[in-house]
């Protein structure tokens, strides 16, 4: 991909800059109406933007000091599925409030027995007239305690192989029978939750696409998630500080005397730069609507990099790094360090990403046991999967 940014006098840049000059503090709805929240989506939600226009809009938005509405799971993971496969009513009802950040979304996929092997899920949705009755449990659901809506995958058929018979729903999180229990993580915050469904009546019109054909959509959602977790420049799934920030910190504070530590910091910087260029390629793939193994490659490299840089920063704090004031985390580095073990788990573990890279980028053979319908852990235990 050509990473040269369109020049200052590019007509599309001039026009975008003029828009931000005329809208000094745009509301979320104004940004949505202008197509600036998801420029690469089709109209009326986006602008069908090519990579260059998307980079122009990102750049001009940054220059104007304007931020996009926050709805990472809605906009990053679920929205593209609704755009591609939702019906007109679903698009009309959900997409604009989602883009404006007025209705927050979560992703109800993982279960206690179904993480990497997601198709093993046991939550059931049984058709009963105009509704599906949903029973089961999800876990690690980020933002479920704040979300208005979720994307839910549940089993609608049991008599077929596990990848078939899964359906994909939109679910309102305030329906009777939905119980959300926050789980506190090491940072002291509860970023994710357990979610229980006790005979929850989900309107049949909330099914996306065809019944039993949800697995393909689930895989696309996971691919979107990997793109979304890889597109920002920060160490923490795109957010937070970067290796460049670490270097800047030491440069501005008199440098580093220790030669060994200097080597480590430079190594971290080089990795960060390689990942920055790879990110440009990813943006190109994303705007060309081809989220795929490339995002897995970047995530497999970026997550261990994030862990390494947060640990390096913590080590460099010396004894002071062990202190927090009144139990509060005082910097993005402290918080990032405590969150960093999750980086190589959420959104696909590093091992699973390496499997995807092996099979889909390198053309290595599929894991035979998976093809035969066994899960990885069943393979290790030497047992076979249920039908
Ligand atoms: C911060 C965070 C936020 C999350 N948010 C959400 C969310 O919003 N919604 C949601 O649905 N889920 C969410 N998750 C869950 C996440 O998707 C799962 O944790 C992840 O898919 C791994 O599943 P698991 O935890 O069940 O581990 P397992 O799948 O049980 O894996 C255990 C270990 O076995 C290894 N392993 C498994 N299969 C293979 C294989 N085939 N080959 C080699 N090794 C293998 C794994 O790499 C791992 O080391 C979140 C997780 C985290 C950490």
Q: Tell me: pLDDT of 371 over 50.
A: no
Average pLDDT, the chain: 89
CA distance 28 to 31: 5
Q: Please report whether residue 222 resides in a domain.
A: no
Ligand 1 closest atom vs CA 347: 17
> Which of 212, 242, 267 marks a domain boundary?
212
- Are 110 and 178 part of one and the same domain? yes
Rama region for 208: left / alpha / beta (φ>0; ψ in -120 to 50; rest)? beta
Q: Which residue, 147, 300, 140, is CA-closest to 229? A: 300
- Are 193 and 276 part of one and the same domain? no
Give long-range contacts, CB 8 A cutoff, 24+ apart: 64-67. Answer: 64/20, 64/21, 64/24, 66/20, 66/25, 66/26, 66/31
Q: Please report whether residue 95 resides in a domain.
A: no
Q: Tell me: pLDDT of 219 over 50.
A: yes
Q: Please report whether residue 91 resides in a domain.
A: no
Structural contact between residues 205 and 89, judged by C-beta atoms closer than 8 angstroms = yes
173 CA from centroid of ligand 1 (Å) = 23
Give per-residue pLDDT as tens, 139-183.
999 999 999 999 999 999 999 988 999 999 999 999 999 999 999
Q: Please report whether residue 357 resides in a domain.
A: no
Q: Tell me: pLDDT of 345 over 80.
A: yes
149-155 and 166-172 beta bridge pairing: antiparallel
Q: Which residues are catalytic?
A: 225
- Are 338 and 269 part of one and the same domain? yes
- Are 270 and 333 part of one and the same domain? yes
Domain that holds residue 166: 105-212
- Are 237 and 344 part of one and the same domain? yes
Q: Please report whether residue 234 resides in a domain.
A: yes
225 CA from centroid of ligand 1 (Å) = 13
Angle at the Cα of 110 from the Cα atoms of 109 and 114, rounded to 5 degrees = 120
Q: Please report whether residue 239 resides in a domain.
A: yes
> Which of 212, 238, 265 marks a domain boundary?
212
Give per-residue pLDDT as tens, 262-281.
999 999 999 999 998 888 77
> Which carries the bigger pLDDT value, residue 332 or residue 15?
15
- Are 245 and 330 part of one and the same domain? yes
Q: What is the pLDDT, as a whole number, of residue 293? A: 74
- Are 339 and 302 part of one and the same domain? yes
- Are 125 and 160 part of one and the same domain? yes
- Are 208 and 239 part of one and the same domain? no
345 CA from centroid of ligand 1 (Å) = 5
Q: Is 141 in the pocket of ligand 1 (CB under 6 A)?
A: yes
Mean pLDDT is lowest, of 17-31, 269-283, 317-331, for 317-331
CB neighbour list of residue 355: distance below 8 Å, 6 or more residues apart: 367
Q: Is 72 in the pocket of ligand 1 (CB under 6 A)?
A: no
Q: Tell me: pLDDT of 287 over 70.
A: no
Q: What is the pLDDT, as a whole number, of residue 2? A: 47
Structural contact between residues 30 and 22, judged by C-beta atoms closer than 8 angstroms = no
- Are 184 and 238 part of one and the same domain? no
Mean pLDDT is lowest, of 32-36, 275-279, 352-356, for 275-279
Ligand 1 closest atom vs CA 349: 47
Average pLDDT over residues 103-119: 96
Q: Which residue, 296, 310, 300, 309, is CA-closest to 186? A: 310
Average pLDDT over residues 190-198: 95
Q: Is 296 in the pocket of ligand 1 (CB under 6 A)?
A: no
Q: Tell me: pLDDT of 87 over 60.
A: yes
Q: Tell me: pLDDT of 223 over 70.
A: yes
Q: Please report whether residue 189 resides in a domain.
A: yes
> Which carries the bigger pLDDT value, residue 280 or residue 348?
348
Q: Tell me: pLDDT of 188 over 90.
A: no
CA distance 166 to 221: 14
Q: Is 185 in the pocket of ligand 1 (CB under 6 A)?
A: no
Q: Which residue, 193, 237, 236, is CA-closest to 338? A: 236
Mean pLDDT is lowest, of 81-95, 253-267, 365-379, for 365-379
Predicted confidence band of residue 377 (pLDDT cuts 50, 70, 90): low
Q: Tell me: pLDDT of 386 over 70.
A: no
Q: Is 45 in the pocket of ligand 1 (CB under 6 A)?
A: no
CATH of the domain at 325: 1.20.140.10
Q: Tell me: pLDDT of 192 over 90.
A: yes
CATH of the domain at 124: 2.40.110.10
Q: How many distinct structural domains can be found in the chain?
A: 3
- Are 196 and 236 part of one and the same domain? no
- Are 208 and 234 part of one and the same domain? no
Q: Please report whether residue 125 resides in a domain.
A: yes
The closest residue, in CA terms, to atom 16 on ligand 1 is 346
SS3 content of the chain, % helix, strand, coil (to 5): 45, 15, 40
């Amino acid at each position: 991909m050509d990473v040269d940014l369109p020049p200052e006098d590019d007509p599309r840049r001039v026009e975008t800059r003029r828009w931000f000059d005329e809208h000094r503090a745009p509301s979320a709805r104004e940004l949505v109406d202008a197509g600036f929240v998801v420029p690469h989506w089709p109209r009326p939600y986006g602008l069908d933007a090519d990579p260059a226009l998307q980079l122009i809009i990102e750049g001009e938005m940054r220059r104007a000091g304007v931020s996009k509405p926050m709805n990472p799971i809605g906009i990053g993971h679920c929205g593209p599925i609704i755009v591609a496969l939702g019906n007109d009513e679903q698009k009309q009802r959900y997409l604009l409030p989602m883009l404006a950040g007025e209705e927050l979304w979560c992703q109800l996929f993982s279960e206690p027995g179904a993480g990497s092997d997601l198709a093993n899920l046991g939550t059931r949705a049984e058709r009963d007239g105009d509704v599906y009755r949903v029973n089961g449990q999800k876990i690690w659901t980020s933002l479920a305690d704040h979300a208005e809506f979720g994307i839910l995958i549940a089993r609608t058929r049991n008599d077929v192989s596990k990848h078939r018979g899964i359906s994909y729903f939109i679910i309102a999180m305030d329906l009777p029978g939905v119980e959300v229990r926050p789980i506190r993580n090491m940072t002291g915050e509860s970023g994710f939750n357990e979610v229980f469904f006790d005979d929850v009546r989900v309107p049949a019109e909330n099914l996306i696409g065809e019944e039993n054909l949800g697995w393909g959509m689930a895989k696309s959602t996971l691919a979107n998630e990997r793109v979304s977790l890889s597109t920002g420049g920060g160490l923490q799934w795109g957010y937070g500080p970067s290796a460049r920030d670490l270097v800047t910190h030491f440069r501005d504070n008199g440098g580093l005397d220790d030669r060994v530590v200097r080597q480590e910091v430079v190594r971290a910087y080089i990795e960060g730069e390689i990942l920055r260029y790879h990110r440009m390629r990813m943006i190109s793939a994303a705007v060309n609507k081809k989220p795929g193994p490339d995002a897995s490659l970047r995530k497999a490299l970026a997550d261990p990099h994030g862990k390494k840089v947060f640990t390096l920063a913590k080590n460099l704090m010396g004894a002071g790094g062990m202190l927090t004031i009144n139990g509060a985390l005082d910097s993005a580095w402290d918080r990032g360090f405590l969150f960093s073990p999750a980086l190589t788990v959420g959104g696909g573990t590093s091992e699973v990403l390496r499997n995807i890279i092996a099979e889909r980028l390198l053309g290595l053979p599929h894991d035979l046991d998976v093809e035969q319908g066994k899960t990885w852990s069943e393979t290790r235990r030497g047992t076979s999967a249920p039908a």
